[in-house]
Homo-oligomer: A and B are copies of this chain.
Amino acid sequence: MPDNAPPQTSALRVLTLPEPLKLDCGETLDHVEIAYESWGEPNANRSNVILICHALTGDQFAASPNPLTGRPAWWPRVIGPGLAIDTDRYHVIATNVLGGCMGTTGPASNAPDGKPYGTRFPVITIGDMVRAQRAFIAALGIDSLFSVIGGSMGGMQALEWAAQAPGQVFTSVPIATSARHSAQNIAFYEVGRQAIMADPDWCEGNYLAQGKRPSRGLAIARMAAHITYVSEGALKRKFDRGLQDREKTSFSFDADFQVESYLRYQGHSFVDRFDANSYLYVTRAMDYFDLSSRSEGRLADVFRDTPVRFCVFSFSSDWHYPPEANREITRALIAAGAEVSYLDIQSDKGHDAFLLKEPIYERALAGFLSSSAELRGI
């Protein structure tokens, strides 16, 4: 397989949506494939289905290894038998988002003309991602979800589900997220997009057809974003000013410092598993996300009298989607009359804490799901 080819899809479970998908931009995608993975079994009335929504660079392999990249599951700490998202009790499904690059239709997919979309792919929104998931769930014969759960961009989808289809979601768990991308969020992702588009190998978005890949630009984008996922305290704890495989600074532009070596690795390893145009589209969807804009800036009105039960999590040292962004969600939900629990977890691990070992968070998530399941008779 040439290294510029889109991921081979034979090892992936893929469902083709039965109907065309209308998008917020006004365009329609006639052929949409959704790649997914699942764990645990549905119960008789399918009332125990949990949808896991992944973050920007995640995929559907939340609880089992990715057969294409060989990478381990990204959320093994919370999904599995006896874990918070207990696969002995729940039927857990994860899809790759619309616009993604792990089997779901996105800019690296072929357009109806048989050539990769590239930047001919329509600009999508978080709302479109969720509409695609709803069509997917319906195609599986599932009427409603017991829970929709996600961190970061996954949390946006958890909120969007509750906003779009309150009757189809029993609980929603937005984690380390925001209902409204901030100017600083937009700024960081704009730097990443500019880095990709500045790479001559981006070829105005047409790199797949030309046998190229903007790997340098994509690596820079990843490096810049990665800094925002880690707290200043965690960087100090892990690396401080430690040198990489040397006793003294080299008086050169080599990766003298461990933190430089770590960032370079983050950038270079990312380009093997992610499509640069997907990065553009998915970050754009996040930038466009502002739930409150649907009710003239009043987020509470979006959720007025919602039947959905929410559990919102934030992490104290997360400066990408800081606690305050999650408190805004919580306050709006309370004002809307929703049932909402909110936990701010003390952690020095920054935004990435939602993927890492944080026992209080894991126990609280387990408790929320378990008590909600009892209410629903699961």
Interface residue ranges, A against B (CB under 8 Å)? 24-26, 119, 122-123, 180-184, 186-188, 190-191, 193-195, 197-200, 216-217, 219-220, 223-224, 227, 232, 235-236, 238-241, 249, 251-253, 255, 257, 259-260, 263-264, 267, 280, 284, 287-288, 290, 319
What are 20 A-B pairs at a CB distance below 8 A?
A26-B251, A119-B253, A123-B252, A123-B253, A181-B241, A183-B239, A186-B257, A186-B259, A187-B235, A188-B227, A190-B255, A190-B264, A193-B253, A194-B219, A198-B219, A198-B220, A200-B200, A241-B290, A249-B288, A253-B284
Of chain B, the residue at the smallest CB distance from A240 is: B183
What residues of chain B lie closer than 8 Å to A26, measured between beta carbons?
251
Question: Copies of this chain, how many?
Answer: 2
Q: Are B122 and A182 in contact (CB under 8 A)?
A: no
Q: Are A241 and B195 in contact (CB under 8 A)?
A: no
What residues of chain B lie closer than 8 Å to A186, measured between beta carbons?
241, 257, 259-260
Of chain B, the residue at the smallest CB distance from A190 is: B260
Pick the contact of A183: B123, B187, B235, B287 (CB < 8 A): B235
Q: Are B263 and A190 in contact (CB under 8 A)?
A: yes
Given contacts A198-B217, A235-B183, A253-B197, whether A190 and B123 have CB atoms under 8 Å apart is no
What residues of chain B lie closer than 8 Å to A200, measured between beta carbons?
200
Q: Are B223 and A220 in contact (CB under 8 A)?
A: no
**Additional A-B contacts beyond A249-B288, A253-B280 (7; CB < 8 A):** A25-B251, A182-B232, A182-B240, A183-B241, A191-B224, A198-B216, A224-B224
- Tell me the bound Cα distance from A180 to B242 in angstroms: 12
- Tell me the bound Cα distance from A191 to B263 in angstroms: 8
- Tell me the bound Cα distance from A259 to B264 in angstroms: 27
Of chain B, the residue at the smallest CB distance from A220 is: B195
Q: Which of A183, A188, A200 is packed against the most chain B CB atoms within 10 Å?
A: A183
- Tell me the bound Cα distance from A239 to B123 in angstroms: 23
**Chain B min CB distance to A349 (Å):** 14
Q: Which of A198, A284, A288 is packed against the most chain B CB atoms within 10 Å?
A: A198
Given contacts A195-B195, A216-B198, A288-B249, whether A259 and B190 have CB atoms under 8 Å apart is yes
Of chain B, the residue at the smallest CB distance from A264 is: B194
Of chain B, the residue at the smallest CB distance from A201 is: B200
What residues of chain B lie closer than 8 Å to A25, measured between beta carbons?
251
Pick the contact of A259: B183, B220, B236, B252 (CB < 8 A): B183
What residues of chain B lie closer than 8 Å to A227, measured between beta carbons?
184, 187-188, 191
- Tell me the bound Cα distance from A190 to B235 in angstroms: 14
Q: Are B284 and A182 in contact (CB under 8 A)?
A: no
Q: Are B194 and A223 in contact (CB under 8 A)?
A: yes
What residues of chain B lie closer than 8 Å to A232, measured between beta carbons?
182-184, 319
